[in-house]
Amino acid sequence: MPKLASTTATFAGTKFTYQAARIGDLGATEYTLVTIAIDMTGSVSGFESELRAMLIAVIDACRRSPRSDNLLVRVLLFSSRFQDVNELHGFMPLAQLDPASYPVFQTGGMTPLYDATFNAIGATVDFGNDLSANDFLANGIVFVITDGDDNTSTATPAMVRQLLETTRRDERLESILAILIGVNAARYQAQLDGFAREAGLDGYRDAHDATPQNLAKLARFVSQSISSTSLALGTGGPSQTISATI
């Protein structure tokens, strides 16, 4: 994979690190920053390969989009096993991705859901602001896919909300959407709904059980949402309420 630039940013006293393509290497004038954060905690054991297949399906679908040249994609895995998040790769042009080389997912550890959400949104905002400062037009969409509630974060829902509200007031990033998705998470519906509400996310969607069919639907939802968001770039606001459903 090509060399990416590593950045450490801070928001509300909390640091997070991410990698991204060098701005000088980018060929388009506008980008949608896509982040997919996937739960790799112990409870995901048993369907981690299906989640990997879902991720690859999303990447492949995005490659077929007419807006594929205007997407930068970051993929990260989260679990208390990792010091921060495990970034499979930072924000990279689709053409440079090789999803077949994504490692086999290993599960274990507890669920730093709030930390992962904060990192995913924070990196999107920070890099988006950097792009904007360099005359690029940028918007962002973040997907956080989990099977359970948080049990080990230092970040809080209030911090995530503050980050989103600050970003939306600032308007350097044209828009940002953050969607929480539950897989095999029926028993945590109330907690995940509550987190999405408290954190000011753009909703919680239940993808139901982790069957191949449901995860295929999830892949379609994610890729269609990315496409809608990318098409909205330049209109001054987020995409219309994402009409795709899981």
Partner 1 sequence: MQTDAHFIIGQTHAAAGLPCQDYALTGQVTGGTFAIVADGCSSGGRTDVGARLVTQATDQALRFSPQAVVPARQVLMQASQRMLNLNRTDMLATCLYAQTHDDDVTVHVQGDGVVALGRADGQILAGLFEWSRNAPAYPSYADDGFAAFKAFYGDEPNPLTLEWWSVTPTGAEYLDTVRFGLDEAVRGITLDYRLAGLDRVAVFTDGVTQIDGVDWTDAVRSLLAFKTRQGAFARRRMNRFVRDVSLTGRGPLDDLAYAVIITEGTDHDA
Q: Which residues bind partner 1 (CB under 8 A)?
A: 23-30, 133-137
Q: Of 10 and 29, which CB lies nearer to partner 1 in the complex structure?
A: 29
In the bound complex, what is the minimum distance in angstroms from residue 135's beta carbon to partner 1? 4
Q: Of 95 and 186, which CB lies nearer to partner 1 in the complex structure?
A: 95
In the bound complex, what is the minimum distance in angstroms from residue 68's beta carbon to partner 1? 17
Instruction: Give the whole-angstrom CA distance, residue 110 versus residue 43.
Output: 8
- E strands of 86-227, at which residues? 86-93, 137-146, 176-182, 204-206
Instruction: Give the whole-angstrom CA distance, residue 161 versus residue 169.
Output: 12
In the bound complex, what is the minimum distance in angstroms from residue 242's beta carbon to partner 1? 25
Q: Of 138 and 210, which CB lies nearer to partner 1 in the complex structure?
A: 138
In the bound complex, what is the minimum distance in angstroms from residue 5's beta carbon to partner 1? 13
Nearest to 74 by CA among 61, 65, 85, 84: 85
Q: Of 149 and 174, which CB lies nearer to partner 1 in the complex structure?
A: 174
Q: Which amino acid is at 103?
A: P
79 CB-contact burial (10 Å; exposed 0-12 / middle 13-18 / buried 19+): buried
